[in-house]
């Protein structure tokens, strides 16, 4: 590339990150609370007990407030693919657009249609019809997440497609490969179960606050029973799918795994860092890595912490003696373990880029046999296509932000472990009817809302920061994907979005607090 406006690239990334992180404040609550509402209404339908109707209507108000603002931020997020990432949108052809189109046509329409019955159909349709509508809203909201995460999973592991050199687009070759992409399926289950975990923490936190305020304690306790069981099952599923996600990352994105674990030099029987912090030298861990790769800071890049022997090899490959590549192995190569260096991949990618340009030129000039020769060269090197853009940039640009990825991942894991214990403690305390005496547990419950939200955001930071600099793994880096805009325009919209999203968040919090203060009686 002749010139890269890094200001434009970084501001475009920052704007998308801002929108995604704000959007993900609202989405998990929608995904999980919708199913808890369906469970509560099912109990009411089966028992006819009016207290369950009152409980559901209270949580339905909070669901509605959250749902409306989540939709607003989600629409903006999808528009940004066209405005800020138009080169990406063109390059992905019909692959990325297909899951999003299905999400809009099938899942979102389904969700939006039945949500009207769920809110306003209490005295207009039968109990059974209303119950079915509530379940369909829950299913629809989660189907929306499926198609969005199928699209995201494809970016992390592009499958089921073929690049068309004449249109310069990736075109879908097998829809089922895209849908059942192992990265997408595991990401979907892990994401929605973590969202269920957060929504359970939200219900427990609000209920705990009401009990501390000596208000609607009976309804709050019943809510906590539902949420603690729901949350306990959800966090177990989250942990299991988290293990699956680590194996997918090890297979398809080894640099991300190295960043998540701060693994600089790979080894067989690699240990797992249970608790630790990166050793910072020369201002940043990335700078230390660059120095070491250049021979200026030999063997001084590491993570300080408590290690579980063989843990990472088992986590990644279910084999205590498996080789787990580190950052240095991936950058410099490790022929013994069959790992090509980034320099080799950059060279191969450059050949692919040049062959594609020569193919286009030969086709334009009508030289079919020459065009065919260049097309064969291009296809032989296509797997390294994206690396060719780093020819003049240096291999350090291919290393993700290790400190951020490491800290985000390990903090998320620690929080997840605590949630497992917390749900059990809450369930036992409510079951024994002594939750009111355990003020410390109630206060932790209120704080649990914040920690649940934090774990959600850290999960996305781990997933997205860890795959940098790729928009599409190995095929398209961020600096190629951005639209040709003026940096100042992106800075302006970033500021506007920040103001609007913050205002929406403040409005939601205020409305929710007012609703919570009114309690179950209104």
- For each of the chain's 522 residues, which pLDDT tens digit applies? 557 788 888 888 988 888 888 888 888 898 999 999 999 999 999 998 889 989 999 999 998 888 877 777 777 777 787 788 888 888 887 787 777 777 767 766 777 778 888 888 888 888 999 899 989 988 888 888 888 888 888 888 888 888 888 888 888 888 888 888 898 899 999 999 999 999 999 999 999 999 999 888 898 899 999 999 999 999 999 999 988 888 889 899 999 998 888 888 888 888 887 766 665 554 455 555 556 555 555 444 556 666 788 888 888 888 888 898 988 888 888 888 888 988 999 999 999 999 998 888 888 888 888 888 988 998 999 889 989 898 888 788 888 888 888 889 989 999 999 999 999 999 999 988 888 889 999 999 999 999 999 999 999 899 899 888 999 988 889 888 888 888 888 899 899 989 988 988 898 889 889 988 888 876
What is the C-alpha separation between 409 and 407, in angstroms, rounded? Answer: 6
Please give the distance of CA 148 from its chain centroid, rounded to a whole number: 10
Length of the chain in terms of residues written? 522
pTM above 0.75, yes or no: yes
Quick check: helix, strand or coil at residue 205? Answer: helix
Cβ atoms of 255 and 399 within 8 Å: the answer is yes
Residue 19 exposed, middle or buried by CB count within 10 Å (0-12, 13-18, 19+)? buried
What is the C-alpha separation between 58 and 52, in angstroms, rounded? Answer: 10
Cβ atoms of 149 and 245 within 8 Å: the answer is no
Radius of gyration of the chain (CA): 25
Structure letter (DSSP) for residue 104: I
What is the C-alpha separation between 402 and 72, in angstroms, rounded? Answer: 33
What dihedral angle (degrees, nearest 10) is formed by the CA atoms of 493, 498, 504, 510? -160
CB atoms < 10 A from the CB of 434, how many? Answer: 11
CB atoms < 10 A from the CB of 78, how many? Answer: 14
What is the C-alpha separation between 364 and 358, in angstroms, rounded? Answer: 10
């Amino acid at each position: 590339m002749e010139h890269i406006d890094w200001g434009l690239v970084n501001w475009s990334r920052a704007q998308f990150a801002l929108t995604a992180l704000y959007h993900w404040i609202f989405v998990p609550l929608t995904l999980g609370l919708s199913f808890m509402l369906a469970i509560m209404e099912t109990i009411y339908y089966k028992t006819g007990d009016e207290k369950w109707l009152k409980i559901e209507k209270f949580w339905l108000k909070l669901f509605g407030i959250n749902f409306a603002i989540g939709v607003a931020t989600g629409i903006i997020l999808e528009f940004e693919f066209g405005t800020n990432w138009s080169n990406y949108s063109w390059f992905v052809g019909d692959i990325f657009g297909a899951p999003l189109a299905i999400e809009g046509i099938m899942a979102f329409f389904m969700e939006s249609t039945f949500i009207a019955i769920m809110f306003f159909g209490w005295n207009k349709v039968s109990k059974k019809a209303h119950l079915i509508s509530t379940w369909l809203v829950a299913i629809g909201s989660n189907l929306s997440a499926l198609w969005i995460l199928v699209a995201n999973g494809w970016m992390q592991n592009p499958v089921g497609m073929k690049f068309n050199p004449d249109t310069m687009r990736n075109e879908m070759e097998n829809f089922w490969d895209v849908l059942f992409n192992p990265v997408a399926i595991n990401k979907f289950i892990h994401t929605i179960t973590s969202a269920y975990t957060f929504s359970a923490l939200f219900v427990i936190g609000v209920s705990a606050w009401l009990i501390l305020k000596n208000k609607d304690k009976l309804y709050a306790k019943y809510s906590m029973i539902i949420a603690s069981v729901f949350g306990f099952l959800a966090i177990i599923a989250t942990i299991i799918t988290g293990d699956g996600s680590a194996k997918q990352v090890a297979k398809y994105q080894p640099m991300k795994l190295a960043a998540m674990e701060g693994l600089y030099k790979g080894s067989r029987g690699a240990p797992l860092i249970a608790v630790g912090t990166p050793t910072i030298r020369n201002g940043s861990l990335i700078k230390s890595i660059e120095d070491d790769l250049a021979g200026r800071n030999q063997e001084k890049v590491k993570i300080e912490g408590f290690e579980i022997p063989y843990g990472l090899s088992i986590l990644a490959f279910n084999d205590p003696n498996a080789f787990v590549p580190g950052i240095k192995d991936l950058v410099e190569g490790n022929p013994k373990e069959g790992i090509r260096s980034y320099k080799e991949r950059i060279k191969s990618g450059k050949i692919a880029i040049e062959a594609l340009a020569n193919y286009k030129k030969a086709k334009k000039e009508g030289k079919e046999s020459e065009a065919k020769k260049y097309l064969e060269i291009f296809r032989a090197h296509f797997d390294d296509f994206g690396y060719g853009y780093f020819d003049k940039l240096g291999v350090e640009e291919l290393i993700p932000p290790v400190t951020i990825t490491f800290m985000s991942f390990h903090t998320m894991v620690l929080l997840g472990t605590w949630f497992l214990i917390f749900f059990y403690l809450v369930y036992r305390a409510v079951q024994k009817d002594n939750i009111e005496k355990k003020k410390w547990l109630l206060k932790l419950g209120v704080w649990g809302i914040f920690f649940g939200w934090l774990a959600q955001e850290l999960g996305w930071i781990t997933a997205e920061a860890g795959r940098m600099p790729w928009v599409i793994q190995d095929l398209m880096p961020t600096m190629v994907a951005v639209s040709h805009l003026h940096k100042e325009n992106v800075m302006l919209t970033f500021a506007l979005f920040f103001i609007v999203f913050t205002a929406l968040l403040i409005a939601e919090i205020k409305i929710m607090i007012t609703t919570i203060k009114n309690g179950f009686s209104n």
